[in-house]
Structure formats: structure tokens, C-alpha cells
Structure 1
Amino acid sequence: MDRVQIVHENFLRRVAAGDFPDGETDVSVLDNAQASALFEAQVLSRALDLQSRLMQKAGQGFYTIGSSGHEGMAALGHVLRVDDIAFLHYRDAAFQIARAEKAQQTGMMRDMLLSFACSADDPTSGGRHKVLGSRPLMIPPQTSTIASHLPKAVGAAHSITLARRNRPEHAVLARDGIAMCSFGDASLNHSTAQGAINAACWTAVQGVPLPLLFVCEDNGIGISTKTPTGWVKASMSMRPGLKYFEADGLDMYAAVAAAEQAAAWVRQHRKPAFLHLRTVRLYGHAGPDVVTSYLPKAEVEADEAHDPLLYSARGLVAAGAMTGQQVLDVYGETLEHVRQAAEEMVATPRLKTAGEVMESLIPPHRDVTATNGPSDAMRAEVFGSDLTQMDQPQPMSRLINWALHDIMLGHRATLLMGEDVGRKGGNYGVTQKLHGRFGPARVIDTLLDEQSILGLAIGLAHNGFLPMPEIQFLAYLHNAEDQLRGEAATLPFFSRGQWTNPMVVRISALGYQKGFGGHFHNDNSIAVLRDIPGLVIACPSSGEDAAMMLRECHRLAREEQRVVVFLEPIALYPMRDLIEPGDGRWMRHYPSPDQRLELGQVGVHGDGEDVAIVTYGNGHYLSRQAQHDLAQKGTAARVIDLRWIAPLPQEALLAAIGERPVLIVDECRHTGGQAEALMAMMHEGGINRFARLTAEDSFIATGPAYGATLPSREGIVAAVEGLLG
């Protein structure tokens, strides 16, 4: 027999014989009705696990990572309020079932079976994945997370605090609510988990309220790798700023008592706590996993002897809530109900076409209160003497700064966050004065951890804020890219658009810095962003464009709930001159606050018919120089600034190119750069003559060779001449 059948028959045999695990249960924490309801939630979770494996064997289901052994999480579903946002471990079906019971929401068995079957009728993901999650139950859907949901749980907890004084239009979390996130003991070792817990402690020791409950479900093993005995308690019980609780999660009564204590402490003190629950893992990691291939049979049988349902049965019988036969009746009837329901669910429709799958990739628009922007009086009060300089041309960094001021003046739910954005004034002074003018609750200096910065933003967006996190340099994004790929961009996709996390991520990006930083501060690789479905990527090249594009990015996030990345070319922050020193031709006037550059609108410079140069960022600046040089040689060029990296503005771009031959100037690498997509688009669009000039497939050096691997003004001229023969 396989382990599933062994556990099933052990339960039947031991309950019939009254052979319960040793020990006593304090049954006083639950009345008999509550205990019976929790046991029924646990049994339904178990029955669904068993059915998922039968469905998989029959080719009717597609997911077998179950919750068996973790049924103690029903205690958290019972204890926490329904409006306490919960980011769940993938083994927490019992939590969701118990919370649904608490909310008097029927149909959870059906909903989970639809998820197993990848049915298009699944109310959570619409057949895109088997996920736990429910909008009415305040459970954002998670895929098979490895602690990647912990940073946004920190952000959601912080949002509850911030919303007490500055409640966003689309806030959903209660003022006295808490956030909960659960995970396994193996995931605790992931850098993402450690970073999130560290961020919570870092925040708490500074006296900043953070009502967050971490729940570690410790079954002692991660797939096949054991957790050292005592490791979780030793590493978590003495963390500064973190209150530690523990309980035997096998015993639902004990789990309820500990959960009540931990949740009450978090709710009262508004500080983070860590609840350590002992669990077991039954049946191995997932359906194909043969646990006895890497664990001794005796160890497997020892875990099976600690089946949580046996502990629950022990307590129910001791309390007089049920007899042993009634326990078996509940178990058998639930198995049969699930079996019958599964027959109906597997006949429901599934997604078939690409259009159906991608339907929820882009979030839905949401209704927002119309705003006329900041008044003249508000602007005069906040900008002060800066207003007198707005009639003079300014470099990009200054115009981005002013655009941020106007955005924050017009939208109180907009927050900035990142390392050094506050008191220091951000990277290269781009956020200077904002901290003093808007305060630390809206311009948040974070710890140095990009995962925590992006997670903070995702969590804040869950509660109606519109975050604008800053990543200091593009190369630092790679430490945290999964927060965009695996969390932010996937949320509407896996929730049918019911959950979103709109934001504008500002990144100081790209190369051409002279003599500073090498590859970590001059990073010309955006491939990591370009292949994230649904992500909007903007890259301005002039200060005027930057201000107007930033406003459009903010609108996309606020009204269309998009996740947007705004790449700010570092080398162009201070740029003043274009052709000759002192000409001031790259500075711009600040556009009025109501002006935007819409998504998909390209920049067109010049009417030259000989060649079109398609480019962006620093490449646009260099191409404008080359345009001047080519004109001196009799070649008339049109320079087209993409502005929008994704989605690619194909229609506007082809219209701007017309019948001209095309040179693509891409400051990113030959492999994985934007030029690859543009070359394909040119071919598919029927353009016959095109070529590209890109950076080399190399990191960038520090010192005089900073530009040796990058496109240059002279190189662009030579490439055009080569293209035209």
C-alpha cells in the first residue's frame, strides 16, 4: 500500500479502537460546537488531499501538494478575524476552510475542487493555477511560494498603521486589523524570509507599529532536507523586536490557545510576533514523492503515528463532543461528499485558448475620484522658492523632483520609499526636499534590502496606497527581481483581477557614468524586466519627457492598477549640453502639472528622409548628437525616441519610421537587449533595410574605459554610413 492508504487505514483502525496518541488535551479553550466545527474543517482539508491524488491519477486534476499533517492551521482560521489579511503557506487549506466557516461562506469544498481541476469556474484563479485565496476572505492568492510572500506581508502590516492617519480611497484593511503570513520551516531559511523578518524587527525596535503575525509550520523537513532539531526556536526566540510563541500544532486545542495569545498580543501591542507550530508532513512533499526513498521507514511511520486528526479525535472524545463512532462518521461522510462533488467539478470547462489564459494578465480599471491636481496655493506653499526657477530650463534630475512634488501634492495616497530617499534626498538628489515637505510617513527611509523595499510597496498597494519605491541602481534590482516577477506581476493573473498591487518602481539605471562604480552602478541589462508579462517599462531621455511620463506612469498605476517600472538614465540626470559645451540644449522647462505623455507615444525629432534612428535613454542623447554630425555630411536623419520599452509602441513606431531605412541604437547588450525585439518587429513590419548598434556582451568598466563597450556618437555616425552604403 502507498503511504496515503496507510495513513487512512491507521486513522480508521485507531479511532475505532480508541487508540489515541499519548498525552492530555486542555479542552477548555473550545466549546464542543467550536471543536466539532474545527474538526470538520480539518477533515475536509484531508478529504480534499485524498481526492486531489485520485483526480491526478485519473487525469482529472493537476495538483497534489497537500495540507495533510498541517490541519492545525484551522486554529488560526478560527482565531483570526475574517478581515485580518492572510498570506498563506500552500499547505493551509484547513485555514481557508475554517475561515470560510467563520464567515458563514458556503461552497469552499466546491471551490477547492474546481481549483484542483484547473476549472475555468474556479472563483479564485479561473483555472490558471491551484491556489489558496479568496477576496471575500481577505486571502490574496499565492502560488507555490518559497517565502516570497513574507516581504509583502510586512508591507501590508505597515499599511494598516499608515492608513490610520492617511486612509487611502481604496483602503480595505481594518484600522485595528493585523496581517498574518504562514510558511514552512524550510522556507524560513530562504533569504527572502530572513530579510522580511529582519525588516519587521528593524521596524519594531524603532517604535514603528507593525501588527504582523509570522506563523511557522515546522514539520521538520523541506522536501528531503531535514531541519536541524531546535533550529527554528533557537534562531527565532531571541530576535529583538519579535515576540516568540510556540505550541503543538498537532493538537488543535493547543494551537487555538497559542494562536489566541499570539494574535491578541499583536493586536494589542501593534508589534510583530512569531508563532512556532509543530506539525508533521504526511504522504511526502507531493504526489510523485516517494518519501521512503530518502527517509527510513521507521521515521515515516513515526510521523504517521502523529496524525493531527488522531489528536483532534482524542480531544473531542475527552470533551464529550463526539464519540469515536461519530468521529468516524464525520470522516467517512466527508470523504463521500468530496468524492461526489469531484465528479461534478471535473466536468466543468477549462481554459483552452491563449486569450482565455491571458484575460486577467492586465488588471481591470478601477474607479477613482477625479482630481484637478494641486492648487496654485498648495504649490506655492510646498515649492516655495523653487517656483521662481520653473521658468528657467533645468536638468532631468530637477524636473523629476518637481514632478514627484506635484504628484504627491495631488494624491495623498502616493508614498515614496527606498534607501536614502528621505533625509539624504535620494540618489543624486532626485528626491531632495520631499521628506521635509511631506514627512516620514509619506517619504519612507527603508533599510538596505531591495526585497523588503519592493515587498513593502506590494503590501502597501494591497491596502489602497500607491507606492513609488526606489531602487538605487539597476544592478541592485537583481537581488529582488522575484518580487516583481513572482509576486507583483502575477497577482492579477492568478486572481482573475480581484487582487492587484499597482505601483511605480523608480530605478536609477543604465550606463555612461564617468569614473564611478563599474558594473554595479553602470548596469545596461534590462532583459530581466522585459520578459515579465504585463509589466509597463518606461525610459525617458529628457527632463521634460521624464516629468510627463512619470505622471502617466502614476496614472497607469492609479487608474489601471498597473505595475510600472520607470528607468531613469543616471548619466542624463545632470546633463545640460548637447552639441557644444555651454549650449544648454539638453535642459528643458518644467511642463505644467496637467501635461502627460501617454503610454505608446514615441518622440520624433527631425524630418530627415535618409534614415530613421530608433533608440531610447542615453542612446537618444547620443543619436541627437550623431544627427547633427550626419547633417554636416549631408545625411538627413530622423531620431525616434521609444520612451516606452514595454509594451513596445509598435504602431506609433512604424508610423514614425515610414519608408526610411532604420538603425537601432541600443545601449543595452547585444544579447537580451531591446534591439532584439525591435529587429523582429522591423522584419515582421515589412521594413527591408535595418541594422543595429548595441553595447557589447560585457560588464562595464570603471574609469576611462567606462564607455568602451557602449554605443558612441561616432559609432552611430559610422553605423548609419554603413547602413546607407
Structure 2
Amino acid sequence: MDRAEIVHENFHNRCRTGDLPPGRAPGGGLGRADAARLFRAQCLSRALDRTSRAMQKAGQGFYTIGSSGHEGMAAVAHALRPDDIAFLHYRDAAFQIARADQVPGQSIAWDMLLSFACSSEDPVSGGRHKVLGSKALMIPPQTSTIASHLPKAVGAAYGIGLARRRPPEHRALPADGIAMASFGDASANHSTAQGAINAAGWASVQSAPMPLLLVCEDNGIGISTETPKGWIEASMRHRPGIRYFSADGLDMYDTARAAAEAAAYVRRQRKPAFLHLTMVRLYGHAGADLPTTYLPKAQVEAEEANDPLLHSVRLMDAAGVMTPQEALKVYDETCDRVARVAAEAAQRPRLKTAAEVMDTIIPPKRHCAPTNGPSAEAREAAFGSDMKQMDQPQPMVRLINWALTDLMLEHGEITLMGEDVGRKGGVYGVTKALHQRFGPDRVIDTLLDEQSILGLAIGLAHNGFLPMPEIQFLAYLHNAEDQLRGEAATLPFFSRGQFTNPMVLRIAGLGYQKGFGGHFHNDNSLAVLRDIPGIIIACPSSGADAACMLRECVRLAREEQRVVVFMEPIALYPMRDLLEAGDGAWMETYPAPDRVIGLGEVGVHGDGTDLAIVTYGNGHYLSRQAQARLAGDGVNARVIDMRWIAPLPEDALLRAVEGCDAVLIVDECRRTGGQAEALMALFTEKSDLPHARLVAEDSFIATGPAYGATMPSADGIYDAARALLEDRT
């Protein structure tokens, strides 16, 4: 008999004989009807766990990480409102069930069993994953909660406070709401959790509103690694800016009391609280996990003897809610009902085709109030003396700054955030004066933690803001890339587009900074971004393009709810000259606020037919230099600027090279994982034109005079072009 059946039989036998575990008397906080209702939620959670295992054995279900031992979370749901956004640990079925009881019209058992069966009729993910989640219950779905959801919970809490001062158009969370995030004791050690908890306290001690309830479900073990006794309390009780609460998670009365006190504190004080609940884990980690292979059998049996359902029976009996025999009847009736419903759910249709699976990668468009651009008066007040310089050519850094100003004037929900973006104006001055123009609410100087920066953005988007986070250097993104891949990009996919977190992520990156920073400040790989389904990657190479593309990126996020990455080539920020010192040929005037470069629209420079050079970013700048030198040799070339890295603008690129004799691909990123791989495949599969590539070496970038040694140069492009043309002859 497996451990699930042992726990089931133990419950039966001990209810019949009255052999219930010892414990304190029921405390206050729960009326009789509430206690009975929470017990029914606990029984349903337990029945679903047992049924999920039976479904898996029968080939009808596909997920068995259950909530047994964590049924006390039903009492936490009871202490919160159903419009308090909740980012749940995967062992929180009881929470979702209890919350469903607070919202009319829910069919929670049927919905969750459809999820177990991976049915396409699952109202949460449409059969893409077994997840807890519900739009009606304000529970965004999570696929794996190894603390990755905590940064966005911090962001959501901050967004609730921010919306009270500056409500966005698509506000979703109530002004007096709170955000809740739950997680296990093992996950509390993850750097993501530590960063999020630190960020919540960091904001709190500075009096920033942070209505956040963090709930640690401490069962003492992470898969097979035990948590030291007292570790969670010792490490969390005295965190600055965060109030600590605790309760016995096996006791639904004590849990309800502590959860109510913690929630009231957060709601009243608008400060974060940490609720520490001690629990047990029953059955092991998941269906295939046998806890007796790594824990003493006596320890496993001791935890099974502490079954929270048995504690609930004891407490209800003492409170006169129901007798053990009545409780057993509720339990058996619930198990029988779940088995019947599961048999029906297992027959419902499932996803079959790639198109069906991928249908929700791109979120749905949403209606937005029309905008007519900022008024002349607003622009005059914001730009001041800069208005007089707009008809003069300027470098990219200044045109991006002006584009951000116009966009923030037009869209009040835009909020910038990042390290040094505020008072300093950014490391390279891109956000200069924006803090003064729009204030600290809209241009937020964050703590030094990329996970928290992106989490803040994701959470703000949950409440209708349009976040524009900045990652100071491309190499720093790797500290937080899972916030894009595992959280932001997957949310519409796993929620059928019911939840979205649009944003425009600005990253300063790529190479060619002369003698500065080495591989931490010069990073020429976009592979980690190109790998993420559904996101858009833009990379301008000139100031006017940057302004026009940034406007399109904001439109894509605002109206189409997309996650967009705007990659800004650092070396081109200050660039003024193209062919010789003082020519000023790489500077441009600021394009009118209504000018936009649409998604997938490439740039074509020149009309030559001898050669097409396909490139982007710094490669475009260098290719234009090579183009001029080739012209001196009688070679008439055109330079095609991709502009959009993902999705790859295939049709536009194929049209752009029409009529040319050959194609040279210039990619400043590395040979392995660079854009050139996709471009070579495109021209091989869909074009008969001879083509070749010039790419960066598979190397990090050096500091000092060798800063460009591993990447394409104007001379290298010229040589590669001549070699390609000579090979044809």
C-alpha cells in the first residue's frame, strides 16, 4: 500500500475510534459555519490529491504534486478577500478551493479535475499545464513556484499603492487590496525569494506603500533536503520593514487567527508581513517520490500521524461543529464525488496540434482609450529649452530621451524603473531629466537587483501600468532572465491570455565600447532572448529609428499586451560621425511624435544590386562605412537594417534583397547562437541568392585596445564582401 492509501486508511480508522492527535483547544476567529466550510475545502483538496494519483496510474492524469499536509491554507484564504491577488505555491489547492467558496458560480472540483486531465476545456490553462489559477478568483497561474513568483508579488503590491495615487487605465486591483504570495521553506532560501523579501523590506523602511503578505508554508523539507529546525523563524523574524507572524498550520483555528491578524496589519498599515505556518508534507514530494527512501520510516509515520485533517476533526468536535463520525461522512462523500467527476473529466478533449498548443503564446489585444499625442503646452513645459534644439541633428542617446519624454507625456501609465535611472539620469544619460519631468513615482530608482527590477515591472503590469524597466547592461540580464522566460512570457500562455504582463524592457548592450568594461559591459549575445517564445526584440541603429521604433514598442505593449525588449547599442549612443571625423553623418533630427516604424519593417539604405548586406545595430553602422568603400571600387551595394530581431522579419528581408546578386550577413553577435544562424537558414531555404556570413567569434570581449578584435569591423566587412563577389565570378 502506498503512503497516500496509508494516510487515507489512518484517517478512517482514527475517526471511527476517536484516536485523534493531541493539540490545543480551538481558539477564536472561526464561527461554526466557517469551520465546517473550511473543513469541506480541506477534504476536497485531499480527495483531489488522491484522485490525481489514480488518474496518473490510469493514464488519465499527468501531475501529482499535491497539497496534502498543507490544507491549512484554506484558513488563509478565509482571512483574505477574493479580490486580493494571490500568487500561490503549488501545494495550495485548499486555498483556491476555499476562495472559490467566496465567489458565486464556481465549479471548482470540475475545473481542477479538467486541469489534472490536461483537458483543453480547463478554464485556466486550456490543457497546457496543471496549474492553480483563476481569473475569477484573482489567482494568476504558476507553473513552478521555486520563488520565481515572489518578485512580481512585490511589484503587484507596489502597484496597488501606486494606483491609489495615479490610477492607470486598465487598473485591475482594488485600492484597498493586498497582494499575497505563498512558498515553501526550501524556496525561501532561493536567491529570488531572498531578493524579493529584501526588496519588500527595502521599500517598506522608506515608507513606500507595500501591502504584501508573504506566507511561508514550512513543512521542514525540500524534496529530500531537510530545513534546519528553527531556520525560517531565525532568518525571517527580524527582517527590517517586515512584521513577522506565525501559527500552527495544522490548526485551522490558529491559522485563521494569525492570517487574519497579518492580513489586517498589511491592509491597515500598507506594509509587508511574513506569515510563518508550520505544516507537514504527506505522501512525499510527488507521485514517484518515496519519502521512506531518504527519511526514517518512523519520521514519515510521525508526520502522517499529525495529519491536519485529523487535527481539524478534533478541533471541530471540541467546538461543537461536527462529530468525528459526521466529519468522516463528509470526507467519504467528498472522495466519492471527486471520483465520479474525475471519470467525466478524463473523457473531455485534449490539445492535439502544435497550433492548438501555441494559440495562447501571443496575448489578446485590448481596447485602449485613443490618444492624440501630447499637447503643445505639455511638450513645452516638459522639454523647456530642448524644444529649440529639435531641428538640429542629435546623437541617439538624446533622441531616445526625447522619445521617452513624449511617450510619458502621452501615456500616464508608463513607469520607468531601474538602477540609477532617476536622479542620475542613467549611466549614459538616456533617462536624463525624466525624474525631474515626471517625478519619482514614474521614474523609480530601484535597488541593485535585476530580479526585483523585472519583478516590479511584471507586478505593475498586473495592475494596468505600462512598465519600462531598464537593465543597465546586457550581461546583467542573466541574473534575472527567468523573470522573462519563466514568468512574463509564460503568463498569457498558461492562462489562455486571461492574465498578461506587457512591458517594454530597455537594455543597454552589445559591444564596441572602446576600452571599457570587458565582458560585463560589452556583451554581444542575444541568444537568451531569442530563445523565449512570444517576446519581441527590437534593436535600432540610429537615433531617429530608435525614437520611431520605441513608439511602436510602446504601442505593442499597451494595445497588444506584448513583452518587448528594446536593445540599445551602447557604442552608438554618442555616435556622431560616419565616414570621417566631424562629418556628423550619424546624427539625425528628432522625428515628429507621430512617426512610427512598424513591427517587421526593415530599413534599406541604397539601391545597389551588386550586393545586399543584411545586418543590425553596430553592424549597420560598420556596414555603411564598408558600403562607401565598396562604392569606390565600383561595387553598388545596399545595406539592409533588420531592426527587429524577433520575430525575424522574414518576408520583409526577402523582399529587401530582391534584385541583388548576393547577400552578405553581418552579425556582431557570436557565431554560436547569433542571428546569422537564422538568417543563413532563411536565405538557404527561401532564396537562391549566394550568401555568406561575417560574425563575431565565440569569445568574451576584452578590455583595452582589443575591444573589437573578436567582432566584425568595417575592414572585415569590406573584405568579406569582396571575397563573396569574387567567389561568384
TM-score strictly above 0.5: yes
5 Å matches for 1:49-448? 49-448=49-448
2:6 is equivalent to residue 6 of structure 1: yes
- CA shift at 1:121, angstroms? 0.2
Is contact 1:161–1:175 with CA below 8 Å preserved after alignment? Answer: yes
Is contact 1:25–1:253 with CA below 8 Å preserved after alignment? Answer: no
Q: Kindly provide the CA deviation profile for residues 187-210 of structure 1, in whole angstroms up to 9, marking residues without a partner as x.
A: 000000000000001111111110
Is contact 1:25–1:254 with CA below 8 Å preserved after alignment? Answer: no
Residue of structure 1 equivalent to 2:645: 645
2:535 is equivalent to residue 535 of structure 1: yes
Is contact 2:26–2:318 with CA below 8 Å preserved after alignment? Answer: no
Residue of structure 1 equivalent to 2:43: 43
Residue of structure 1 equivalent to 2:697: 696
| Counterpart Cα distance in 2 of 1:334 and 1:159 | 39
Q: Which moved more, 1:680-689 or 1:452-461?
A: 680-689
Which one-letter code corresponds to 2:128 in the other structure?
R
| Counterpart Cα distance in 1 of 2:407 and 2:19 | 67
- CA shift at 1:634, angstroms? 1.1
Which one-letter code corresponds to 1:262 in the other structure?
A
- CA shift at 1:24, angstroms? 2.1
- CA shift at 1:26, angstroms? 2.2
| Counterpart Cα distance in 2 of 1:688 and 1:435 | 50
Instruction: Tell me the SS of whatever aligns to 2:706.
Output: helix
Is contact 2:28–2:257 with CA below 8 Å preserved after alignment? Answer: no
Residue of structure 1 equivalent to 2:622: 622
Which one-letter code corresponds to 2:725 in the other structure?
L
| Counterpart Cα distance in 2 of 1:586 and 1:476 | 28
- CA shift at 1:659, angstroms? 3.8
- CA shift at 1:543, angstroms? 0.1
Is contact 1:124–1:495 with CA below 8 Å preserved after alignment? Answer: yes
- CA shift at 1:27, angstroms? 4.1
2:607 is equivalent to residue 602 of structure 1: no
| Counterpart Cα distance in 2 of 1:659 and 1:6 | 75
Q: Kindly provide the CA deviation profile for residues 166-196 of structure 1, in whole angstroms up to 9, marking residues without a partner as x.
A: 1001001111110000000000000000000
Q: Kindly provide the CA deviation profile for residues 469-508 of structure 1, in whole angstroms up to 9, marking residues without a partner as x.
A: 0000000000000000000000000000000000000000
Is contact 1:27–1:315 with CA below 8 Å preserved after alignment? Answer: no
Residue of structure 2 equivalent to 1:482: 482
Residue of structure 2 equivalent to 1:555: 555
Residue of structure 2 equivalent to 1:723: 724
Residue of structure 2 equivalent to 1:682: 683
Residue of structure 2 equivalent to 1:707: 708
| Counterpart Cα distance in 2 of 1:267 and 1:107 | 29
| Counterpart Cα distance in 2 of 1:608 and 1:35 | 79
What TM-score, normalized by structure 1, do the two folds share?
A: 1.00
Q: Kindly provide the CA deviation profile for residues 544-567 of structure 1, in whole angstroms up to 9, marking residues without a partner as x.
A: 000000000000000000000000
- CA shift at 1:165, angstroms? 1.3
Which one-letter code corresponds to 2:685 in the other structure?
E
Gaps of 5+ in 1: none
| Counterpart Cα distance in 2 of 1:190 and 1:664 | 42
Residue of structure 2 equivalent to 1:593: 593
Residue of structure 1 equivalent to 2:507: 507
Q: Kindly provide the CA deviation profile for residues 453-481 of structure 1, in whole angstroms up to 9, marking residues without a partner as x.
A: 00000000000000000000000000000
Residue of structure 2 equivalent to 1:22: 22
Which one-letter code corresponds to 2:705 in the other structure?
P
- CA shift at 1:684, angstroms? 1.1
Which one-letter code corresponds to 2:371 in the other structure?
T
Which one-letter code corresponds to 1:696 in the other structure?
E
| Counterpart Cα distance in 1 of 2:577 and 2:402 | 21
Instruction: Tell me the SS of whatever aligns to 2:665.
Output: strand
Q: Kindly provide the CA deviation profile for residues 428-447 of structure 1, in whole angstroms up to 9, marking residues without a partner as x.
A: 00000000110000000000
Q: How many residues align?
A: 725
| Counterpart Cα distance in 2 of 1:23 and 1:719 | 80
Residue of structure 1 equivalent to 2:611: 611
| Counterpart Cα distance in 2 of 1:105 and 1:86 | 19
- CA shift at 1:29, angstroms? 1.9
Q: Kindly provide the CA deviation profile for residues 98-146 of structure 1, in whole angstroms up to 9, marking residues without a partner as x.
A: 0000113421000000000000000000000000000011100000221
Identical-residue share of aligned pairs (%): 72
Which one-letter code corresponds to 2:651 in the other structure?
E
| Counterpart Cα distance in 1 of 2:375 and 2:630 | 46
Is contact 2:125–2:493 with CA below 8 Å preserved after alignment? Answer: yes
Instruction: Tell me the SS of whatever aligns to 1:317.
Output: helix
Is contact 2:88–2:145 with CA below 8 Å preserved after alignment? Answer: no
Is contact 1:505–1:564 with CA below 8 Å preserved after alignment? Answer: yes
Residue of structure 2 equivalent to 1:545: 545
- CA shift at 1:687, angstroms? 2.9
| Counterpart Cα distance in 2 of 1:620 and 1:243 | 54
Which one-letter code corresponds to 1:716 in the other structure?
I
Q: Kindly provide the CA deviation profile for residues 73-115 of structure 1, in whole angstroms up to 9, marking residues without a partner as x.
A: 0011111001100000000000000000011342100000000
- CA shift at 1:688, angstroms? 3.6
Q: Kindly provide the CA deviation profile for residues 46-96 of structure 1, in whole angstroms up to 9, marking residues without a partner as x.
A: 000000000000000000000000000001111100110000000000000
Instruction: Tell me the SS of whatever aligns to 1:415.
Output: strand
What TM-score, normalized by structure 2, do the two folds share?
A: 0.99
| Counterpart Cα distance in 2 of 1:618 and 1:595 | 23
Q: Kindly provide the CA deviation profile for residues 362-418 of structure 1, in whole angstroms up to 9, marking residues without a partner as x.
A: 000000000001011110011000000001000000000000000000000000000
Instruction: Tell me the SS of whatever aligns to 1:705.
Output: coil
| Counterpart Cα distance in 1 of 2:240 and 2:345 | 49
Is contact 2:505–2:566 with CA below 8 Å preserved after alignment? Answer: yes
| Counterpart Cα distance in 2 of 1:40 and 1:181 | 23
Which one-letter code corresponds to 2:82 in the other structure?
V
Instruction: Tell me the SS of whatever aligns to 1:44.
Output: helix
| Counterpart Cα distance in 1 of 2:522 and 2:635 | 32
Q: Kindly provide the CA deviation profile for residues 209-250 of structure 1, in whole angstroms up to 9, marking residues without a partner as x.
A: 100000000000000000000000000001111100000000
Instruction: Tell me the SS of whatever aligns to 1:568.
Output: strand
Which one-letter code corresponds to 1:678 in the other structure?
L
| Counterpart Cα distance in 2 of 1:671 and 1:46 | 49
| Counterpart Cα distance in 1 of 2:31 and 2:79 | 13
Is contact 1:25–1:251 with CA below 8 Å preserved after alignment? Answer: no
Structure 1 vs Structure 2 CA RMSD: 0.6
| Counterpart Cα distance in 1 of 2:55 and 2:342 | 8
Which one-letter code corresponds to 1:542 in the other structure?
S
Residue of structure 2 equivalent to 1:671: 672
| Counterpart Cα distance in 1 of 2:698 and 2:514 | 19
| Counterpart Cα distance in 2 of 1:262 and 1:26 | 19
